[in-house]
């Protein structure tokens, strides 16, 4: 029986959110521990070592050096002071530490001596009843991962992308977790990319809705097209999504194709699956951007056509009104000697002539599509 069977099932994020706080192993907290540390544990042969109190990072590494295994330390938005001790304990590179503390980094993969530093952008779809010009469609966060021979340090920024459920699922599969820190790195990458897939499907629904509104026949009396601000806002959100997906493709290809001492060979092959899913999302996001460009141009063209139609109608009625205006203007001049000025039937004949000419112009313009 393969040690990595059911890998995908083990690391796939559940669509259901747990309402139970993750405190199975942490009953009390060491006052000396950093307030940014969410969880700190030691794993040997894929099993979490039981602790009476929460471990500090230094205590976790002491136990790793004494009995083997690896330490997994999770932090949430640490300050420079909170992260300084951990960085010194694990010998993290200052440049990577600066990126981890200040966040707002592009997805990337960097190697510093015996440590891999990976940055992921997490994407969360924001539910909304109706898309408006100010709707927030996607919300971003960040997960940084320091992967060493015997430790994993995850640093999370933002309110999304919690790793608690992921840690619990991995602990339920000791065979997988026994593969070491690279198994944790793969699980994080897989969860992030699976989140991209879910967001891409939701954004596709928003784009379909906008597309239908733009190209459907408007109700009688309603203007053609929709508010361009809605399309532009959706395009901005897709651009944010694109910034998270595009730079991550190269790191996933490196993890899946290039042999690395810190990545277990049995785990490395599964990075190919993550890279394939990421490539699929990349194609979708690029397609979203191009489609929104086309929809925006079509909406603007419809608005221009509607304006041209209104101008033609205004011009047509102006031409019709010009006939009685011209006739009444001519015969409104107070001259004594004017043709047919004192003719008995002149007034009704002029009125009939005006009506006949106006009707002729109206019929001609309507036949030509101007009215």
Q: Are 141 and 122 in contact (CB under 8 A)?
A: yes
pLDDT, one tens digit per residue, over 34-60 is 568 888 999 999 899 987 567 888 899
pLDDT of residue 266: 87
- The predicted model gives 92-104 an average pLDDT of 91
Mean of the per-residue pLDDT values of the chain:
82
322: pLDDT strictly greater than 50: yes
- The predicted model gives 160-184 an average pLDDT of 90
Per-residue tokens: 174: 């000791």
- The predicted model gives 58-82 an average pLDDT of 91
pLDDT of residue 211: 86
29: pLDDT strictly greater than 50: no
pLDDT of residue 22: 31
Lowest mean pLDDT among 17-26, 135-144, 284-293, 308-317: 17-26
State phi, psi for 233 to the nearest 5 degrees. Answer: -65, -40
Per-residue tokens: 109: 């993969």
- The predicted model gives 149-159 an average pLDDT of 91
Q: Is the pTM of this model over 0.95?
A: no
pLDDT of residue 349: 80
68: pLDDT strictly greater than 50: yes
Give the integer Cα–Cα distance in Å for 112 and 96: 8
pLDDT of residue 19: 34
Nearest to 128 by CA among 117, 119, 137, 116: 137
At which residue do the structure tokens 């399309």 appear?
231
pLDDT of residue 217: 65
- The model's confidence at residue 30, banded by pLDDT at 50, 70 and 90, is very low
End-to-end CA distance of the chain: 78
Per-residue tokens: 301: 């063209």
Q: What angle do CA 237, 233, 229 make, to 5 degrees?
A: 170
pLDDT of residue 340: 67
| Element of type H or E holding 154 | strand 151-157
Give the integer Cα–Cα distance in Å for 303 and 231: 14
Nearest to 199 by CA among 286, 267, 126, 288: 126
Per-residue tokens: 218: 């408007």
Give the integer Cα–Cα distance in Å for 308 and 297: 16
- The model's confidence at residue 224, banded by pLDDT at 50, 70 and 90, is low
Q: Is 289 exposed, middle or buried (0-12, 13-18, 19+ CB in 10 A)?
A: middle
Q: How many helices (H) and strands (E) does the chain have?
A: 11, 7
Give the integer Cα–Cα distance in Å for 190 and 196: 10
Q: Are 121 and 244 in contact (CB under 8 A)?
A: yes
Lowest mean pLDDT among 71-75, 159-163, 220-224, 252-256: 220-224
Per-residue tokens: 230: 């809605």
Instruction: Give Cβ neighbours of residue 45 (< 8 Å, ≥ 6 apart).
Output: 69, 174, 178
- The model's confidence at residue 75, banded by pLDDT at 50, 70 and 90, is very high
Instruction: Give Cβ neighbours of residue 284 (< 8 Å, ≥ 6 apart).
Output: 200, 204
Q: How far is CA 181 from CA 145, 241, 305, in A?
A: 10, 28, 60
pLDDT, one tens digit per residue, over 261-313 is 888 888 988 899 999 999 999 999 999 999 999 888 888 887 787 778 878 88
Give the integer Cα–Cα distance in Å for 243 and 261: 29
Lowest mean pLDDT among 43-52, 88-97, 130-139, 143-152: 130-139
At which residue do the structure tokens 């590179």 appear?
93
pLDDT of residue 16: 34
pLDDT, one tens digit per residue, over 232-254 is 888 888 999 999 999 999 999 99
Nearest to 274 by CA among 191, 169, 367, 150: 191
């Amino acid at each position: 029986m393969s040690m990595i069977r059911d890998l995908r099932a083990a690391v796939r994020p559940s669509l259901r959110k747990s309402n139970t706080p993750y405190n199975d192993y942490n009953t009390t907290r060491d006052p000396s521990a950093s307030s940014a540390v969410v969880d700190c544990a030691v794993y040997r042969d894929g099993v979490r070592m039981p602790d009476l109190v929460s471990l500090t990072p230094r205590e976790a590494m002491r136990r790793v050096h004494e009995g083997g295994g690896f330490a997994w330390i999770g932090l949430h938005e640490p300050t420079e002071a909170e992260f300084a001790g951990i960085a010194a304990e694990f010998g993290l590179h200052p440049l990577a530490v600066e990126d981890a503390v200040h966040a707002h980094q592009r997805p990337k993969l960097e190697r510093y001596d015996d440590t891999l530093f990976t940055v992921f952008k997490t994407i969360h779809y924001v539910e909304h009843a109706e898309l408006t010009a100010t709707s927030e469609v996607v919300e971003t966060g960040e997960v940084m991962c320091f992967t060493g021979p015997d430790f994993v340090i995850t640093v999370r920024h933002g309110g999304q992308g919690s790793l608690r459920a992921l840690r619990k699922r991995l602990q339920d599969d000791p065979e997988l977790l026994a593969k070491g820190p690279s198994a944790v790195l793969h699980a994080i990458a897989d969860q992030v990319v699976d989140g991209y897939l879910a967001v891409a499907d939701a954004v596709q629904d928003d784009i379909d809705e906008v597309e239908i509104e733009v190209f459907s026949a408007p109700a009688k009396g309603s203007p053609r097209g929709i508010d361009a601000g809605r399309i532009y806002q959706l395009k901005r959100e897709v651009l944010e999504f694109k910034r998270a997906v595009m730079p991550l493709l190269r790191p996933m290809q490196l993890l899946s194709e290039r042999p690395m001492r810190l990545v277990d060979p049995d785990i490395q092959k599964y990075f190919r699956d993550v890279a394939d899913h990421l490539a699929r999302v990349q194609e979708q996001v690029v397609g979203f951007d191009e489609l929104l460009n086309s929809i925006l141009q079509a909406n603007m063209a419809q608005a221009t056509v509607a304006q041209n139609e209104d101008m033609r109608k205004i011009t047509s009625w102006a031409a019709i009104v010009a006939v009685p205006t011209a006739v009444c203007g001519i015969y409104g001049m107070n001259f004594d000697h004017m043709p047919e000025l004192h003719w008995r039937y002149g007034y009704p004949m002029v009125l009939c002539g005006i009506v006949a000419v106006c009707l002729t112009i109206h019929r001609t313009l309507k036949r030509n599509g101007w009215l």
